């Protein structure tokens, strides 16, 4: 099964605060996921990284979508609907 999204060691740090830390996650084509957690847990931040609406902190992990791998900043043009 082909991976649609791969995150490896992704962290988001903004204004000195760590929003998400060291996330590693792989979503295959047939997978269906539900992301749950309390307010402020990082759910929206995680989904914004996957959809390339925000970018991981420099040198904080790797994000790949449908085989297109990028380190650090991502270009929104590389996003695929998941």
Fold type of domain 3-73: Rossmann fold (3.40.50)
- pLDDT mean over 55-73: 67
Task: Say what the pLDDT of residue 80 is.
Answer: 33
Taking the whole predicted model, whether its pTM rises above 0.75 is answered as no
Structural domain spans, the chain: 3-73
- Please give the backbone phi and psi of residue 47, each rounded to the nearest 5 degrees, phi first: -70, -30
Mean pLDDT score, 46-71: 77
Phi, psi of 51 (to 5 degrees): -90, 5
In the Cβ-directed half-sphere of 79, how many Cα atoms lie within 13 Å?
16
Residues pairing with 8 in the sheet? 62
pLDDT digits (tens, 9 = 90+) for 14-46: 899 999 999 999 999 889 999 999 999 999 999
């Amino acid at each position: 099964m082909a991976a649609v999204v791969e995150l490896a060691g992704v962290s988001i740090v903004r204004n000195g605060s760590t929003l998400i830390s060291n996330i590693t996650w792989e979503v295959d084509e047939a997978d269906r996921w539900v992301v749950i957690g309390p307010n402020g847990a990082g759910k929206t931040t995680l989904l914004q990284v996957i959809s390339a609406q925000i970018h991981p902190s420099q040198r904080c992990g790797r994000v790949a979508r449908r085989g297109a791998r990028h380190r650090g900043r991502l270009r929104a043009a590389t996003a695929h609907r998941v």
